[in-house]
């Protein structure tokens, strides 16, 4: 089934069921524009045969980034670089959709000491994030306008669709969660109010790109933290998104507080059935699918062709979302489609900084955070190598990845600040 095309509600068709899910690249110029590294990276990925490639976080506001090195699209100033990025993907017969996002409180101190958030609830992960400022009504309305404007520019640049990021604890996800949204106005309280911003963003983006342009939403099945966004709430939000008319719903889960997709795996779980191990969010998909009138893409842990085919045959998902394997094996979709590859590598099973410091029941929150950062840094390193036209480096140790990640993000943040001082990359008043 994985080789079959999929036609979306807007009439757009995807050539097969492989979708590269978003991974933050960190390859932008100091002024937030796409670079030749994006072109090399996505040429490598697009040549692999997946129908759909989702960009990493493209930020709607240069004042608030997920990390230094994000592409920022506030206006047409970087449109030529965006067009070149899209063109290289099209040259290989694939589609490029832009994931558009605002980090909310998940904006690191290297970018700003005072991020925006629904409420003044600070994210305490290795001391990396400042205390946020609760958004005013004007801030919220500005965010809606920015999402719509960014989507319009990306359509003009030749991107084939957009994905609104409302998962993994970023701003729209923060509004959905009662843990981070403690507002008492029309944007907080009951789920209908907490979902109001996401639905307004969807409506504004649809108005800016038109009825025939693909819009996706990335949504948590659950936050997996006490007091957070739940599966039952996710199902209700999916019903509202169905009414709003989106074209593809990507289901994932977790936040920076509970990174489900970076969890270490217990050896017994590794020996368990492939399908159970792979489909970390598939068990939630059946309930979500029943509420959805748009196709679903499930992302998180798929590693074997048999597991992917079983998930598609079950009807619980329509697209297979995969991210990290592209960092080591960029052409795996073509080989799976040809029947010459059955399984993908799972290097995260060995990317642990130290035995005894990590585990499902560990209370070492700081060490867990560093393990997550090491895994992230390890994959960032592979992305940087592909962006430089080099082969992946699977032998890289998690310690080197961790230290390299911190060093490189610091260098990028300083370059960004220098660019701002010299008149490029100035914050837009929006």
Whole-prediction pTM: 0.90
How would you classify the pairing of strands 6-7 and 13-14?
Answer: antiparallel
Examine residue 426 and state whether it is found in any structural domain, yes or no. no
Which of 17, 179, 155 lies closest to 98 in space, CA to CA?
Answer: 155
Is residue 124 one of the residues assigned to a domain?
yes
- The whole-number pLDDT of residue 359 equals 47
Helical H segments across 8-52, by residue range: 36-46
The reply to whether 411 falls in a domain is: no
> 10 Å Cβ neighbour count for 345?
14
Q: What pLDDT was estimated at residue 110?
A: 92
Q: Is residue 189 part of a domain?
A: yes
pLDDT of 402 above 90: no
The count of domains in the chain is 1
- What pLDDT shows up at residue 404? 85
Residue 21 tokens read as 């899910």
pLDDT at 207 over 70: yes
pLDDT for position 369: 67
Residue 19 has pLDDT above 50, yes or no: yes
Please tell me the predicted confidence (pLDDT) of residue 126.
60
| 214 in a structural domain | yes
C-alpha distances (whole Å) from 210 to each of 99, 155, 206, 222, 240 are 17, 10, 6, 30, 19
Distance (Å, rounded) from C-alpha 123 to C-alpha 104? 10
The answer to whether residue 413 sits within a structural domain is no
Q: How far is CA 14 from CA 28, 58, 80, 93, 97, in A?
A: 28, 22, 25, 11, 12
Q: Are 190 and 236 in contact (CB under 8 A)?
A: no
- Is residue 46 within 8 A of residue 412, CB to CB? The reply is no
Residue 268: predicted pLDDT: 36
**Residue numbers of the domain that contains 240:** 6-352
Q: Could you tell me if residue 374 is inside a domain?
A: no
CATH code, domain with 283 = 3.20.20.70
| pLDDT tens digits, 314-325 | 999 999 999 999
Spatial distance between the Cα atoms of 87 and 97, rounded to a whole number of angstroms? 12
- The answer to whether 179 and 121 are in contact (CB under 8 A) is yes
pLDDT at 179: 95
> What is the rounded distance in angstroms from the CA atom of residue 217 to the CA atom of residue 202?
8
Q: Does residue 272 form part of some domain? A: yes
Residue 72's pLDDT is what? Answer: 98
pLDDT of 362 higher than 50: no
């Amino acid at each position: 089934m994985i080789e079959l095309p999929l036609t979306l509600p807007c009439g757009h068709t995807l050539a097969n069921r492989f979708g590269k899910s978003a991974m933050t690249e960190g390859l932008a110029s100091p002024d937030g524009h796409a670079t030749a590294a994006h072109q090399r990276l996505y040429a490598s990925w697009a040549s692999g045969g997946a129908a759909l490639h989702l960009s990493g976080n493209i930020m709607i506001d240069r004042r608030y980034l997920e990390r230094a090195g994000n592409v920022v699209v506030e206006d047409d100033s970087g449109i030529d670089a965006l067009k070149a990025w899209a063109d290289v993907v099209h040259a290989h017969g694939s589609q490029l959709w832009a994931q558009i996002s605002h980090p909310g409180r998940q904006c690191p101190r290297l970018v700003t000491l005072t991020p925006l958030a629904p409420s003044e609830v600070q994210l305490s992960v290795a001391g990396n994030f400042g205390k946020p400022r609760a958004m005013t009504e004007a801030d919220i309305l500005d965010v809606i306008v920015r999402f719509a404007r960014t989507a319009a520019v990306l359509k003009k640049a030749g991107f084939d669709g957009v994905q609104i990021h409302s998962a993994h604890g970023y701003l729209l996800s923060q509004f959905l969660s009662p843990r981070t949204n403690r507002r008492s106005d029309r944007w907080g309280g009951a789920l209908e109010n907490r979902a109001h911003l996401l639905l307004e963003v969807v409506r504004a983006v649809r108005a800016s790109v038109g009825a025939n342009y693909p819009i996706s939403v990335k949504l948590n099945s659950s936050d997996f933290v006490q007091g957070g966004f739940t599966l039952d709430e996710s199902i209700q939000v999916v019903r509202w998104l169905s009414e709003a008319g989106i074209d593809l719903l990507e289901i994932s889960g977790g936040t920076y507080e509970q990174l489900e997709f970076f969890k270490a795996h217990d050896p017994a779980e590794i020996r368990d059935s492939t399908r159970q191990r792979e489909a970390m969010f598939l068990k939630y998909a059946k309930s979500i699918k029943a509420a959805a009138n748009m196709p679903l893409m499930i992302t998180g842990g798929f590693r074997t062709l048999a597991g992917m085919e079983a998930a598609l045959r079950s009807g619980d998902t329509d697209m297979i979302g995969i991210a990290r394997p592209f960092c080591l094996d960029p052409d795996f979709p073509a080989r799976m489609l040809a029947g010459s590859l059955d399984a993908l590598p799972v290097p995260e099973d060995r990317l642990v900084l130290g035995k005894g410091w990590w585990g499902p029941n560990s209370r070492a929150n700081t060490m867990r955070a560093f393990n997550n950062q090491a895994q992230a840094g390890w994959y960032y390193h592979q992305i940087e190598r592909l962006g430089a036209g080099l082969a992946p480096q699977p032998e890289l140790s998690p310690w080197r990845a961790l230290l390299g990640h911190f060093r490189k993000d610091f260098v990028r943040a300083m370059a960004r600040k220098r660019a701002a001082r010299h008149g490029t990359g100035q914050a837009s008043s929006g």
